[in-house]
Structure 1
Amino acid sequence: MRRLPLLASMVLLGALALWAYPLLGPLLRHGAFPSPWGLREPFTLLVYGSSPEYLGPRQRAPERFRGLADAILLVRLDPGAGRAVVLSIPRDTWVRLPGYGVRRVNAASPLGGPELMKEAVAQITGVRADRYVVVSTEALRRGVDALGGVRVCVERPMRYRDTAAGLDIDLQPGCQVLNGEQAEGYLRFRKDALGDIGRVQRQQAFLHALKEQLLSPSGLFRLPQAVAAVEPHLRTDLIRREKGALLGFALRRPELVSLLLPGRFSGGGWSVDEGALRELVGLYFQGEGTAEEAALSGRRVALVYGPGQESQAERARERLQALGLGVVLHPVDLAPGRTEALENGPGLLARALGEALGVPYRVSGEAVLGADLTLRLGGDFPLW
């Protein structure tokens, strides 16, 4: 009988070894285990994608991590607040690059690599990243496939073909699990009215979906394979101690706050709203306080709803107008998965609206442009 517990222990250890085996290579190369203490101080990281370079039609060049920058994220990891703040910077944001004049920020990568990218982002935001991480599109494809796909809700048809780049996007509206190739198409698509800003908002939605997948039982089971798949396709200047601290912080499941760089379309690019940016940087990157209350009256809210929700939208509009809000109707091809209030800002307005309506709220750059607030109307919208 004593052999049974021993046998069970051996089987368990064997299963654990098989689960962790894919991590062996990354651990040998990076030598970082999650630190039990995690981060002790706030840490700022620049994360961006490197677009593929091509030798010819449909023939990608060997990865140099010097393609045009894409999905540019300034990440603030705050252990005191238990929060990870992700500020998305549109690739078409105008910035003055030292030695090169005024350029779009994505040009900093091929011109000067990660160091010039850090300088460009610092010029835009006033925040200099401590370290950088550059990933290729191959990391995205392989990582998503290793996780078994990521479930996202595609709001509208996405069709685009780039024969030279071998990019063929054909996605239909609906909530679905995307494989690596489909996820790349979803994140790179920009052939709609919002162009790069729509793509940035989809990237933010994907971040939240990816977090949910990673923390699910199946995601945790597949995590070693995903890490092993992604690791060869990234570059970073993080040192061993920092990697361990970041892993330890991630295991504590911090709150995820996603923001879009405030601004507007201008001159074929994205021009920064300096006042709104200072408010966001002060609150989320410098720890400055903000007012505890916000008045809804006189604000504009975008009401997002899908087919068949017209009567619900009318009731919601009446309720919003009763709160003193101006309402802009924003129909989409796919009804939102749930009701929620969004704000690309300090979050006080979103909280006030959420509490007034009895619905969830969050800070997110997925909010509709041109409005102070966004209300997504899901099937769970309360009937007053």
Structure 2
Amino acid sequence: MRRILALLLLAALGALAVWLYPLARPLARYGALPKGLDRPLNLLVLGVSPEYSGYHKRAPERFRGLTDTLLLVRLDPGANRVVVVSIPRDVWVNLPGHGWHKINAANPLGGPELSVRAVEALTGVRVDGYVMVSLEALRRAVDALGGVRLCVERPMHYTDRAAGLRIDLEPGCQRLDGAQAEAYLRFRKDALGDIGRIQRQQAFFQALKEQILSPWGLLRLPQAVAQAEPYVRTDLDRETIGRVLGFALKRPALVSLLLPGRFGNGWAVDQALWEEARRVYFEGQEVAPASSLGRVVAVVYGPGEEERAQEAARRLRAMGFRVLFRPVDQTPGRTEVLENGPGLLARDLAEALGVPYRVSGEAVLGADLTLRLGGDGRGL
């Protein structure tokens, strides 16, 4: 019996070693034992666009391209929560020594340090460190995870011959490989432009989280980390990385926001709405519950769901809401309430309707709340 137990233990250790082996290089470079995160940590994540050395030929990665993805991320151990604020690339900022530019130009002009200064001045939030990620990291990590399942809401077709980029996605819930995920995240040839792209990024974050936390995703996670690591740069030290890893093991909740604003000369930030969100998510303050009277709810529904949308609208109007209808080509994957803000209104409406809610920048622009009528069997 002891011999059998010893063999089983050796087999388990061998399996663990095989599972962890892909992490050898990342651990050698950044390795630190997971520790507890003892205070909130604010990070700036920069998605660096590729540079080209010729006709649709990507140059070697220098991490000096435009940062068309800018994410202000707060790791909050007290709330066991990750807050991700997407900053549109078309926000105009005054870059010290360079004058007025769109914020995505800060990296080519002054590296990640200038990007950090620009984001701090824009948001009023101190940044503790940065992480730079190239598109190649995305491709390789998604492929290593076995793809990511997403519901593509509309046809996405676009070809950039100079960059060698071809986007060809049809509506429907499907599993995207690395190249398709890159296409989904880069597409912005629709009415919302870069804002629509940001909303798709936030949908991708949610899907990626679910994929990673699935049994299959956890099994493949070391390989995904190993594949992405050569295409990541950061100024975090080993101890801080260890604390980030320890925090991640607690499976924190995810809140994703779009920096509130409106279309104008680029993206004009709504400072009042941002200050409210900053107080809640970055300063730990509470805000007073808001009345639903006169608030606008956008009802998102797919083909053949018109009657269901009308019934939802009837219930919403009875609660004092105004209603906008937003038909889409693909029925959403789940029924849920979305809010790009403190989340109190979304929570109250979700409880009244008996559906889940999320704080997310995927919410429809111009509405206070978004009600998605999904194909998950939840009735309204």
For 1:312-351, what aligned pairs fall within 5 Å after superposition?
312-351=308-347
Distance, in Å, in 2 between the alignment partners of 1:351 and 1:3 is: 56
Unpaired runs of 5+ residues, structure 1, are none
1:302 is paired with a residue whose SS is strand
Superposed displacement of residue 339, structure 1: 1.2
Distance, in Å, in 2 between the alignment partners of 1:121 and 1:370 is: 25
1:67 is paired with a residue whose SS is coil
State the 4+ residue runs in structure 1 displaced beyond 4 angstroms: none
CA contact (8 A) 1:72 1:89 kept: yes
Distance, in Å, in 1 between the alignment partners of 2:12 and 2:345 is: 50
Query: How big is each residue's C-alpha offset from its partner over 1:138-170, in whole Å with a ceiling of 9 and x where there is no partner?
Result: 000000001010111100000011111111110
Distance, in Å, in 2 between the alignment partners of 1:66 and 1:30 is: 22
CA contact (8 A) 1:283 1:346 kept: yes
Question: Which of the numbers 73, 78, 81 marks the counterpart of 2:79?
Answer: 81
Question: Which of the numbers 108, 113, 116 marks the counterpart of 1:115?
Answer: 113
Distance, in Å, in 1 between the alignment partners of 2:280 and 2:152 is: 32
For 1:32-111, what aligned pairs fall within 5 Å after superposition?
32-35=32-35, 38-111=36-109
Question: Which of the numbers 102, 127, 130 marks the counterpart of 2:128?
Answer: 130
Distance, in Å, in 2 between the alignment partners of 1:332 and 1:157 is: 11
Q: Which amino acid aligns with 1:322?
A: A
Distance, in Å, in 2 between the alignment partners of 1:65 and 1:207 is: 22
Distance, in Å, in 2 between the alignment partners of 1:111 and 1:47 is: 17
For 1:1-384, what aligned pairs fall within 5 Å after superposition?
1-35=1-35, 38-267=36-265, 269-291=266-288, 293-379=289-375, 380-383=377-380
Distance, in Å, in 2 between the alignment partners of 1:126 and 1:310 is: 44
TM-score by length of 2: 0.98
Superposed displacement of residue 381, structure 1: 4.1
Query: How big is each residue's C-alpha offset from its partner over 1:39-64, in whole Å with a ceiling of 9 and x where there is no partner?
Result: 01011000011100000012111101
1:96 is paired with a residue whose SS is strand
Distance, in Å, in 2 between the alignment partners of 1:119 and 1:199 is: 24
Distance, in Å, in 1 between the alignment partners of 2:126 and 2:111 is: 15
Superposed displacement of residue 2, structure 1: 4.1
2:245 is paired with a residue whose SS is helix
Distance, in Å, in 2 between the alignment partners of 1:9 and 1:182 is: 41
Q: Which amino acid aligns with 2:12?
A: L
Q: Which amino acid aligns with 1:18?
A: V
Distance, in Å, in 1 between the alignment partners of 2:146 and 2:33 is: 24
Q: Which amino acid aligns with 1:281?
A: R
State the superposition RMSD in angstroms. Answer: 1.0
1:205 is paired with a residue whose SS is helix
Distance, in Å, in 1 between the alignment partners of 2:261 and 2:271 is: 8
CA contact (8 A) 1:296 1:352 kept: no
Distance, in Å, in 1 between the alignment partners of 2:379 and 2:223 is: 42
Superposed displacement of residue 294, structure 1: 2.2
Distance, in Å, in 2 between the alignment partners of 1:378 and 1:137 is: 31
Distance, in Å, in 2 between the alignment partners of 1:22 and 1:124 is: 39
Distance, in Å, in 2 between the alignment partners of 1:69 and 1:177 is: 27
TM-aligned CA distance change 1:381 to 1:11, over 3 Å: closer
Unpaired runs of 5+ residues, structure 2, are none
